[in-house]
Amino acid sequence: MFSGRIILLQITRPERQIRVAMLGRTLSFGLLILTGACGANSPAEDDTCGPEGCGQAQQAFACQVAVPPQSPRPTASLATAAAAEPAPVGGVIANGTYTTTAVEFFGEFASVSGETIEFRDGFYHRNHTTYLATTGEAMTGFEEVGRFSTDGSTVTLEGTACVAGSPASNTTWEYSATDGGLRILRGSSGLMWEERYELRH
């Protein structure tokens, strides 16, 4: 039991402690520790947890350093008219390098994207190439680094372009983590497609 009146309420981080000091005839001190785990693929605030609590992790990648290799043009196919778009289920995105191997479109398409993305502890390094569907010629590409987080069946990328003028991601995709890979459902201008990635290492 505490006695006296409350003169101080202090909340500190990263320890997440609430300290209450009581002053009166009797001086007593109470300490309540609130704990919280760092969630998988959720680096936004509490990335690195240790004896001193959780804190902001540093970016794991740098532009133009150990750039993931360019993905070759993936196999592209048009889904049958009766095919339904898949229902993403989410899951934990394991650390590693993922490469696009196939893309299934739910409508007519003129180009196909090849991606190599390295995911590591809430960060990513991405090498994107857009190929012409008819000839397989590489048209455009970009490199970026950033942070990612998952929420249910969605993954959000917040990136920084490595070359001035290149697009930077601030986007959310639907995804499913599979045994040895990823499936990502994306869309633009009314066209939907599913990208299939293989975990290479």
Least confident of 2-11, 38-47, 73-82, 179-188: 2-11
DSSP state of 24: S
CA–CA separation, 171 vs 149, rounded Å?
A: 11
E runs forming strands in 106-200: 111-120, 123-132, 138-151, 154-161, 170-178, 181-188, 191-199
Q: Which residues contact 22 (CB under 8 A, 6 or more apart)?
A: 2, 3, 4, 5, 6, 7, 28, 29, 30
Greater model confidence, 200 or 168: 200
The residues near 51 (Cβ < 8 Å, ≥ 6 apart) are none
Q: Kindly list the structural domains of the chain, giving each domain's residue range(s) and its CATH number in brackets, ordered by start.
A: 5-55 (no CATH), 75-199 (2.40.128)
pLDDT tens readout for residues 115-125: 999 999 999 99
Q: Which residue has the higher pLDDT, 167 or 189?
A: 189
Query: Average pLDDT, stretch 58-78?
Result: 94
What is the structure's pLDDT at 55?
58
Name 128's bridge partners: 115, 142
C-alpha to C-alpha distance for 30 and 76, rounded to whole angstroms: 63
Render pLDDT for 2-26 as a digit per residue (tens, 0 to 9).
Answer: 444 444 444 344 433 333 333 344 3
Identify the CA nearest to 123 among candidates 105, 138, 145, 101: 145
136-182 confidence digits (pLDDT tens): 999 999 999 999 999 999 999 999 999 877 777 789 999 999 989 99
